[in-house]
Structure 1
Amino acid sequence: MSDRTVDARQAQEEKMGNGNGQLSGAVIAVAGAGGPAGRAALRRLAEAGATVVGADNDPERLSEAVDAARYASGGATVTGDTVDLLDLQSTRDWATHIEKDFGRVDGLVHLVGGWRGSETFTKTSLDDWDFLELLLIRTVQHTSLAFHEALQRSERGRYVLISAAGASRPTAGNAAYAAAKAAAEAWTLAMADYFRKAGGAEGPTSAAVILVVKALVHAAMRAERPNAKFAGFTDVDDLAEAITGIWTKPATEVNGHRLWLTEKP
């Protein structure tokens, strides 16, 4: 057994025994941890008492996010791994080593995002679809396939997808983006059906849930556009709070549901 594994398990045992946060003892992975939403999620989950393992394809950005979360949460257990989520085996290896090092996986928060659009429907570029299919669908497929068994083994496993209102009401210039988001939602709902069936007559103990936003906003965006209203946008700190709250609700209440953080279209 590696020193890293021993240290990680000791830290987890201490947290489970002594932590007072609402997520004390939980081990939660965050995919796309280096972006603004990922940074907010790392920080809030750590403040709630969870051991948090972030992943991003940019090691410098990930390191900054991990350090910021540790500092803000008073030295909580926050680690980071550079992972290629477009590679299924790499994603599976990430899930395996988290469960090996910490003894469990109680959540995967999927925050890999990106946007491409066009002025009109007829000007839609299928190159945009190729890009978004990888970023918004393939990464969801890989993380869900890599983590679903570990999440089912947990007594409070949660898979959390962040989606967009446009998936339910696409606009002409957002055909590729809306279609990709809708596909990611469908995939996640299929995972929810897996959890439902695995729970049998007593109902699921794990859940796959979708948080729906219009768009996200963060402090840097507000600083760059001080006069913008960002109407209907969800602040990344509010999103992080909503993510953390998923673990306070019974699996039967959230599994297979879209939870709206903005007005329904």
Structure 2
Amino acid sequence: MSTPSPGRGSGNGNGGPLDGAVVAVAGAGGPAGHATLLRLAEAGATVVAADADAERLAQGVDAARFAHGGATVTGDTVDLLHLGAAQEWAARIEKDLGRVDGLVHLVGGWRGSASFGETDLADWDALHDLLVRTVQHTSLAFEGPLRRSGNGRYVLVSAAGAARPTAGNAAYAAAKSAAEAWTLALADGFRMAAPDGPPPAAAIILIVKALVHDALRAERPNARFAGFTDVRDLADAACQLWSRSAEEVNGTRLWLTPQP
């Protein structure tokens, strides 16, 4: 597999594995987003980050720029609950930088209850927006640019609970499961785009039990976080998807925690 050839988004010029690639990160304001921005910048990508929280987004963008001198990392405040906003964001990236080689979708959220009978359907409404609607919008907005890239990647982060829902996590598990199904449909679309050859892009699901970061460890020094995935390991796993062919990874569910 060849590394994406440099376009107008020419990365850091450091010869990294993603040098010349343009990668967007949705939901970049949280700990996983910050770690992913850092890792992508280190790999040489031109990184375009988005989040609804402008302050948290700016913190992540500034940290990635500072850690990797010369890195091109920019941030846009985008409301991904609106399809038009997602489409405008994708179109602007492709117009300004000449290509879009990846979209890492990190928009998250969690709500649960003590028992199945206590499930509040308001939780479903909120999680449907955060975990399903934003996936629908980013996938529809970026499908064309990723396909035109010739080596695009759409990366969704999901949860092990989608496959084995528990009584108190009905809304969360159902939303994650729906997001996975939508992403696998995108993968099939990439496959159908080149019926006689390798797909022009790939959609992949990374599965974690839950995520952990240094601040959370400091807040809970006695917690074991068994089976949790460090946000830096998640970022590494996302970046490594470009080192494998689109045909190999398209439509796959890659476990970053022990599979039940």
**Same fold judged by TM-score > 0.5?**
yes
For the aligned pair, the TM-score class normalised by the smaller chain equals over 0.9
Q: Deviations over 1:14-48 (max 9, x none)?
A: x48x4300000000000000000000000000100
**Number of equivalences:** 254
Structure 2 gaps of 5+ residues are 1-6
Report the structure, 1 or 2, having the larger helix content. 1
Confirm or deny that 1:67 pairs with 2:100: no
Q: Is the 8 A contact 1:23 1:50 kept in 2?
A: yes
Aligned partner of 2:153: which letter? R
In 2, the alpha carbon distance for the partners of 1:103 and 1:73 equals: 23
Confirm or deny that 1:131 pairs with 2:120: no
Aligned partner of 1:153: which letter? R
Which of 150, 171, 174 is residue 176 of structure 1 equivalent to? 171
Q: CA deviation at 1:105?
A: 0.2
Which of 63, 83, 86 is residue 88 of structure 1 equivalent to? 83
Q: CA deviation at 1:199?
A: 1.7
Which of 74, 77, 97 is residue 92 of structure 2 equivalent to? 97
Per the alignment, residue 248 of structure 2 pairs with: 253
Alignment map for 1:1-265 (pairs within 5 Å) = 12-13=9-10, 15=11, 18-265=13-260
Aligned partner of 1:185: which letter? E
Q: Deviations over 1:98-153 (max 9, x none)?
A: 00110000000000000000000000000000000000000000000000000000
| TM-score under structure 1 length normalisation | 0.94
Q: RMSD between aligned alpha carbons?
A: 1.1
Per the alignment, residue 6 of structure 1 pairs with: none
Moved over 4 A (4+): none
| TM-score under structure 2 length normalisation | 0.96
SS for the counterpart of 2:107 is coil
Q: Aligned in 2, Cα 1:258/1:143: closer, same or farther, shift over 3 Å?
A: same
In 1, the alpha carbon distance for the partners of 2:248 and 2:142 equals: 21
In 2, the alpha carbon distance for the partners of 1:59 and 1:252 equals: 36
Q: Is the 8 A contact 2:204 2:253 kept in 1?
A: yes
Structure 1 gaps of 5+ residues are 1-8
Aligned partner of 1:245: which letter? Q
SS for the counterpart of 1:263 is coil
Q: Is the 8 A contact 1:19 1:25 kept in 2?
A: no
In 2, the alpha carbon distance for the partners of 1:46 and 1:136 equals: 26
